[in-house]
Amino acid sequence: AVSRQQQQLPARQFVGGKVPLGLKRKGLRVLVTGGAGFVGSHLVDRLVERGDSVIVVDNLFTGRKENVVHHFGNPNFEMIRHDVVEPILLEVDQIYHLACPASPVHYKYNPTNVVGTLNMLGLAKRINARFLLTSTSEVYGDPLQHPQVETYWGNVNPIGVRSCYDEGKRTAETLTMDYHRGANLEVRIARIFNTYGPRMCIDDGRVVSNFVAQALRKEPLTVYGDGKQTRSFQYVSDLVEGLMRLMEGEHVGPFNLGNPGEFTMLELAKVVQDTIDPNAKIEFRPNTQDDPHKRKPDIGRAKELLGWEPKIPLHKGLPLMVTDFRKRIFGDQDSTAT
C-alpha cells in the first residue's frame, strides 16, 4: 500500500505529530488497543479526563468491561469488541497499542504481538496517526547486563516457552521501526517493566497479583525457585504518565519505563506480609523455565528526554492495589476500581 506521504495527500487536522507540543488544543481522537485491560483502562481514564475522544479496541481476552464501564454513556468514549489480529478501519490521531495477552498464563495462546501489531501499524500508516508500542523489559530476556540500558540487545531464547512473548515483542519493535523508516510513520516505543496496581487480573499468575490474592485469601504465598530472583515493580499511574509523555514528546525511543527499586521475590513476599498479613506463610514451588534472574531498568534516558521518573514506591502503591483486590475478591457491592 502507498502511504499518505507518498501519495502527497494533505495531512489531516490534528494528525499525530502535527500537533505542536504544549499547544492548547481540542481533544484528540485516540485509539487504545487493549484499553479494557489493566494498564489500558488507567490510560483511558487519563485521556478521557484530558478531553480526548477515546476508542477502545479490545477482544476482552484478559481485559474486563468493568474496567471501563464508568465511561459508558460518555459521548467521547467508545468500545469496540474486536480482535486486532483481524484488520480494522478507524480514523484517529494517535494509537496506543497495548493489546496483547501479557501474562505467562495467557500469552502463548495467540499471535497478537506479530499480526495484531502489523495491522495496527497498517492502520496508523493509512490514516497517518502517531503509533506507540508497549513493548516490554522481556526483550532483554535473561539479561547479561544489569541494570538494563536501552542499548542492550538482550539475551533471549528463541525457542523457549516464553519466546512467543519475548520474541513476539521483539518482532513488534522491529515492525514498528520498519514502518517508521519505510513509511515515515511517527512511532514511539516503550519498554515496560513489571507494573502493578488496581484492576490487575487476579488470577493471571503474575507475582504481585498472586501474592496479594493469596495473602487476602489466607493461602500461602507461592515463591518460585529460591526466591532470590529480582524484579523492579512500578505502580500503574507512574507508567501511564510515562506513556503519555512519550506519546506527546519528540523521541522515538525505545524508552525503559519502570521503577528502579529492585526486590527479590522473598523481599516482595515480606512487603506483602507487612501490608496484609504478617502471619502469611511462604511455600516454595519449582520455578518456571527460562525465568530471568534479575531485572532492573536504567531509566536515565526517560529522565533526561521525557522528564519522567516514577513517584510511587512499592510500600505506597501496594496498599492501593490491596484495597481494590479486597473489594473484588470479597465481592463488595461496588466492585469498580478507582
Residues forming the site for ligand UDP (CB under 6 A): 1, 87-89, 104, 118-119, 122-123, 125-126, 194, 205-207, 210, 222-224, 229, 231, 265, 287-288, 291
Q: Does 62 bind ligand NAD (CB under 6 A)?
A: yes
Q: Does 201 bind ligand NAD (CB under 6 A)?
A: yes
Indicate the residue among 106 and 126 with the shorter CB distance to ligand UDP.
126
Q: Does 241 bind ligand NAD (CB under 6 A)?
A: no
Nearest by Cα to 180 from 239, 225, 129, 243: 129
Q: Does 94 bind ligand NAD (CB under 6 A)?
A: no
Indicate the residue among 152 and 224 with the shorter CB distance to ligand UDP.
224
Number of CB atoms found within 10 A of residue 20's CB: 7
Residue 120 Cβ, how far from ligand NAD at the closest point, in Å? 10
- Fill in the amino acid letter for 186: E
Question: From the list ligand NAD, ligand UDP, none, which binds 252 (C-beta under 5 to 8 Å, kind-based)?
Answer: none
Residue nearest ligand UDP, Cβ-based: 122
DSSP assignment of 150-169 equals: TT---B--TTSTTHHHHHHH
Q: Does 85 bind ligand NAD (CB under 6 A)?
A: yes
Count of residues binding ligand NAD (CB under 6 A)?
31
Distance CA 262, CA 232 (A): 4
Question: Contact at 8 Å (CB) between 102 and 66?
Answer: no
Q: Does 254 bind ligand NAD (CB under 6 A)?
A: no
- Rounded (5°) CA angle 209-214-216: 100
- Fill in the amino acid letter for 197: G
What residue has cell string 513476539? 168
Distance CA 30, CA 154 (A): 32
Question: From the list ligand NAD, ligand UDP, none, which binds 233 (C-beta under 5 to 8 Å, kind-based)?
Answer: none
DSSP letter assigned to residue 12: P
- Fill in the amino acid letter for 141: G
C-alpha distances out from residue 190 to 97, 136, 183, 251, 322, Å: 10, 7, 20, 11, 27
Residue 72 Cβ, how far from ligand UDP at the closest point, in Å? 25
Helices 314-329 and 207-216 pack at an angle, to 10 degrees, of 60
- Fill in the amino acid letter for 252: V
Residue 42 Cβ, how far from ligand NAD at the closest point, in Å? 8
Indicate the residue among 136 and 229 with the shorter CB distance to ligand NAD.
136
Q: Which of 53, 148, 195, 259 binds ligand NAD (CB under 6 A)?
A: 195
Q: Which of 92, 102, 127, 175 binds ligand NAD (CB under 6 A)?
A: 102
The contact set with ligand NAD (CB under 6 A) reads 33-34, 36-40, 57-63, 83-85, 98-102, 110, 112, 116, 134, 136, 192, 194-195, 201
